[in-house]
Structure 1
Amino acid sequence: MFFVVLATETALTMKVGYRTARAAWQFRSRDSEREDHTMTGPTANASASSPIFPDNADHATAVKGQDAPQALGNGEFPVPPNGKLTSREKKWIVYDVGNSAFVLLSTAVIPIYAKSLMPADGNIVSAWGYAQTIASLVIALLMPLLGSIADVQGMKIKFFLGFFGTGVVMCCAMALPLTWLPFLIIYVLATIGLNGSLTFYDSMLIDTTSNDRMDKVSSHGYGWGYVGSTVPFIVCIALIFGGPALFGWSTTACTRASFVITAVWWVAFTIPLLTSYRQEHYRATREHTREAVRGTFTELAGTLGKLVQNKSLWMFMVAFFFYIDAVNTVISMSTSYGTQLGIDSTQLVIALLVTQFVAFPCAIIYGRLAGRFGCKPMIMVAVVAYMGIVFFATFFLKEALEFWILAILVGMFQGGIQALSRSYYGKIIPKEHANEYYGLYDIFGKTASILGTFLVATTTTLTGNASLGVLSIAILLVVALVFLTLQKDPTRQ
């Protein structure tokens, strides 16, 4: 019975995915034909320069027609009544609702399931840490090259589809009856698909809204991702804990079914983005793909050179690299650590669900506090708070109650430090080179997912003590705090 349902849901996922891709492609084809006759004024932000064609208006920025929000003649997007979100902004946001379901499942359920597949003497903290490290390393190595190709006309959506499709298919494949090592390999591939799609998804924001609305649209993406992902998660948890009594399935079978449910949800909430997205900005046409690839590393080297010359900026970037690594590591390793300590899986899952609900309002409150006390001081408060979280997890986390406290603490500071880091960075970079610097910011953020998980996994392996592995995260936070303290805040000068 279980395998019949599983096969049906898998077929449904692939069918929906195929129809989604076909509908999106037909939509784009119709618009491409229409735009040849409806060219309008310059697109918003059309002044962004290209490192490949710096002085050539034919290639520096694409000028294309679009549906709503459409660029006006002065290069601005029309503001909807009462500042509400436009249709295209909403369709961009809902992808966060879709992919966040897999993120939440990866945090709460998958590590517990992976632990159940391992031998009795296996260490899930080490195995999970290395799996996360490999996935992050692959993305960090691929993104500079793939990003340059994606900047070619019409290529961004293709790369997005490739990574998104990989993530969904691998998510379904995790439902197969596997031993722990093949399962972790498939999980790594699914994570690569997720993170790769997110890189291109983030870059789609500039084609979706105007500069002055990006913070609002991006924040809504974070917020609805936190809240929306709880819907399929609750369904999956209800199935895992109630399925054996209702359907006569084993807990393992119900857990596998939850992977397929998550994949279906992910596909369903990607359809709006695929059917509405249009790449309005690109650095080169298809005929100049080779020049785009060649210019990638030249551009990266040039931006790094300018970064080194700006002391306040590079000191913040070093601090950001270390503290965001610690934040990502705490998020990704929390469940595997709790499982290793023997905390009941039900308590782990419910506590992490609470984190999602706490994170959204706290992120908004944190933003208001930054407006009163300053962005950098609030970032430093969050770094110190995360040091407290690490020490609490190391020395006091023994029972389910302590894990609940940990989950609430993480939710209080997780969204705030992520949102403020992005906005503070935008205040201290040269505005005329914003695209270049945000590309570097993205590389730092993706690469930062490597060191922390590797540090935890290696320390745990060498010492045989998972608590010491978690304590090693404090090293990253101390380094970050030192650089933040020494950095002169350009926004206060």
Structure 2
Amino acid sequence: MFGKFTRQEKSWIMYDWANSAYSAIVTASVLPIFFKSIARNAGVSANMADSYWGYATSAATLIIALMAPVLGTIGDYKNMKMKMFKVFLGVGVLSTGFLALKEHWVYLLVLYMVSVVGFTGANLFYDAFIVDVTAEDRMDLVSTYGFALGYIGGSTIPFVASIALIMFGPKIGIPTSVATRFSFIITVVWWILFSIPILKDVKQSYYVEEEKHIVINSFRRIFDTFKNIRRYKHIFLFLLAYFFYIDGVNTIIHMASVYGDSVGIDSNTLLIALLATQIVAFPCAIIYGKLAERVGNSKMILTGIITYIIICIVAYRMKTVVEFWILAMLVATSQGGIQALSRSYFSKMIPKEKANEFFGFYDIFGKFAAIMGPALYAFFSQITGHSRYGVLSVMLLFLVGGTLFIYSTVKYPHSS
């Protein structure tokens, strides 16, 4: 499968394989379920635990969203992109490791927030490296293979090992809580080990020459970009659409496990279904990339948005384990594809020498959006007393994002 890629492309793709363990274990499955269990034992109700998780996710993404523009412009300077990537990789790895040290729901929430900052900050620079490692006509292919391989990476050794420990550990004398905490150590080891290729092989090819007062000049460059945004109307319109629909995607990712728990799906079923989702998402992400070559990137992004509208409706009505499995498989069909194609769609629009600066805006739109979705879910769950209305409210994000995206492709058909 790797024969068609260059060394730098392979090394860049492998980081999706590396950080996928975090996505699968910390974001989507083990940590949310563990948190709900610890919170329940401390007397926190199910819907309030959902709300706390949603608010924590929103707070963490707010932090990185506020940092993203200046981080992006700093990363555009010569030799800075990799340095910044390493800093946030370190923050993510260390905070994830510390999750294994203590069982308290507040402690878990705080460290989860720090790990989100590290994970998403590293991804800002990782995403921006795509312009350095491949040509424009290969971006859809490279981006979708990255997401596809990431699903296999997250759902093979680290996820299976974690599930096996949690499900069968008690039978051999390992308490469930100990097995769960050890899964965070597995995540850290996997993340570090498979980050080595990108650290070793990927170099920054496009950059702005170094100058004095990097931070001050970075703010000036941000201001200049805002001031001249009329030159990039097609980029701004896409980012506005992306703001809404990717918020919905991220909300489903972050809230799926806690929602499943709230509607009565047992933890073992949740873990197995999430494992199946990772496996099915692998070929689906590649299929999205292949179809994008045939029918166009924009049409496949719109297909993903429509699929997620259906997902919200199914989730609201869900009452049985069978319906949960249908929901999981629907998510698997589009989760990787819509994220990968959005990344490559945006990469083709932007000036390469300002890739980090523009990916800083891409990240701030995505992360500010990720504040709104979980908060929206948490708010409706809290005021109605049931998480069903929280997940239904997420559909609004896809409706608005889809409408704006259609308008952007009609207004600027050359960019689609």
Calculate the TM-score normalised by the size of structure 2.
0.89
CA deviation after TM superposition for structure 1 residue 305, in Å: 4.4
1:354–1:308 CA distance, 2 compared to 1 (3 A): farther
Aligned to 2:343: 422
1:259–1:469 CA distance, 2 compared to 1 (3 A): same
1:322 pairs with 2:247: no
**Residue in structure 1 matching 2:33, options 112, 116, 128:** 112
Separation (CA, whole Å) in 2 of partners of 1:373 and 1:156: 34
1:100 pairs with 2:20: yes
Please tell me the residue identity of whatever aligns with 2:130.
L
Separation (CA, whole Å) in 2 of partners of 1:432 and 1:146: 16
Aligned to 2:164: 238
Separation (CA, whole Å) in 1 of partners of 2:18 and 2:190: 6
1:345 pairs with 2:267: yes
Please tell me the residue identity of whatever aligns with 2:401.
A
**Bigger Rg, structure 1 or 2:** 1
Aligned to 1:404: 325
SS in 2 for 1:229: helix
1:388 pairs with 2:310: yes
Q: How many residues align?
A: 406
1:145–1:410 CA distance, 2 compared to 1 (3 A): same
Separation (CA, whole Å) in 1 of partners of 2:116 and 2:136: 30
Once the two structures are superposed, residues 67-113 of structure 1 have per-residue CA deviations (whole angstroms, 9 ceiling, x without a partner) of xxxxxxxxxxxxxxx97323333222222211110110020111110
Deviates more, 1:373-382 or 1:183-192: 373-382
Please tell me the residue identity of whatever aligns with 2:22.
F
Once the two structures are superposed, residues 322-380 of structure 1 have per-residue CA deviations (whole angstroms, 9 ceiling, x without a partner) of 01111111111101111112211111111111111222222232334344444333333
1:153 pairs with 2:78: yes
Which of the two has greater helix per residue? 2
Once the two structures are superposed, residues 402-442 of structure 1 have per-residue CA deviations (whole angstroms, 9 ceiling, x without a partner) of 11111100111112222332344456x36688735444323
Aligned to 2:192: 267
The answer to whether the Cα contact below 8 Å between 1:97 and 1:226 also exists between their aligned partners in 2 is yes
Once the two structures are superposed, residues 13-61 of structure 1 have per-residue CA deviations (whole angstroms, 9 ceiling, x without a partner) of xxxxxxxxxxxxxxxxxxxxxxxxxxxxxxxxxxxxxxxxxxxxxxxxx
The answer to whether the Cα contact below 8 Å between 2:72 and 2:359 also exists between their aligned partners in 1 is no
Once the two structures are superposed, residues 450-493 of structure 1 have per-residue CA deviations (whole angstroms, 9 ceiling, x without a partner) of 11011111221222221111111111122123323444253369
1:294–1:478 CA distance, 2 compared to 1 (3 A): same
Separation (CA, whole Å) in 2 of partners of 1:163 and 1:242: 34
Separation (CA, whole Å) in 2 of partners of 1:284 and 1:120: 56
Separation (CA, whole Å) in 2 of partners of 1:451 and 1:475: 11
Separation (CA, whole Å) in 1 of partners of 2:231 and 2:71: 28
Once the two structures are superposed, residues 198-240 of structure 1 have per-residue CA deviations (whole angstroms, 9 ceiling, x without a partner) of 1122223333344444433332221111111112100111111
CA deviation after TM superposition for structure 1 residue 257, in Å: 0.9
- Percent identical pairs in the alignment equals 44
- The runs of 4+ residues in structure 1 deviating greater than 6 Å are none
Deviates more, 1:82-91 or 1:408-417: 82-91
1:89 pairs with 2:9: yes
The answer to whether the Cα contact below 8 Å between 1:348 and 1:400 also exists between their aligned partners in 2 is no
CA RMSD in angstroms, aligned pairs only:
2.4
Matches within 5 A, 1:42-191: 84-105=4-25, 106-118=27-39, 119-122=42-45, 123-191=48-116
Separation (CA, whole Å) in 1 of partners of 2:412 and 2:3: 30
Separation (CA, whole Å) in 2 of partners of 1:432 and 1:278: 14
Separation (CA, whole Å) in 2 of partners of 1:137 and 1:434: 23
Aligned to 2:365: 444
* Gap regions ≥5 residues in structure 1: 1-81
**Residue in structure 1 matching 2:225, options 267, 280, 303:** 303
Once the two structures are superposed, residues 289-314 of structure 1 have per-residue CA deviations (whole angstroms, 9 ceiling, x without a partner) of 41x32333333344344444665554
1:135–1:430 CA distance, 2 compared to 1 (3 A): closer
* Gap regions ≥5 residues in structure 2: none
1:455 pairs with 2:380: no
Separation (CA, whole Å) in 2 of partners of 1:83 and 1:439: 32
Aligned to 1:294: 216
Separation (CA, whole Å) in 2 of partners of 1:217 and 1:375: 14
Q: Using CA pairs below 8 Å that are at least 6 residues apart, which structure has the higher relative contact order?
A: 2
SS in 2 for 1:459: helix
The answer to whether the Cα contact below 8 Å between 1:111 and 1:124 also exists between their aligned partners in 2 is no
The answer to whether the Cα contact below 8 Å between 1:149 and 1:289 also exists between their aligned partners in 2 is no
Separation (CA, whole Å) in 2 of partners of 1:362 and 1:89: 20
Please tell me the residue identity of whatever aligns with 2:162.
C
The answer to whether the Cα contact below 8 Å between 1:344 and 1:400 also exists between their aligned partners in 2 is no
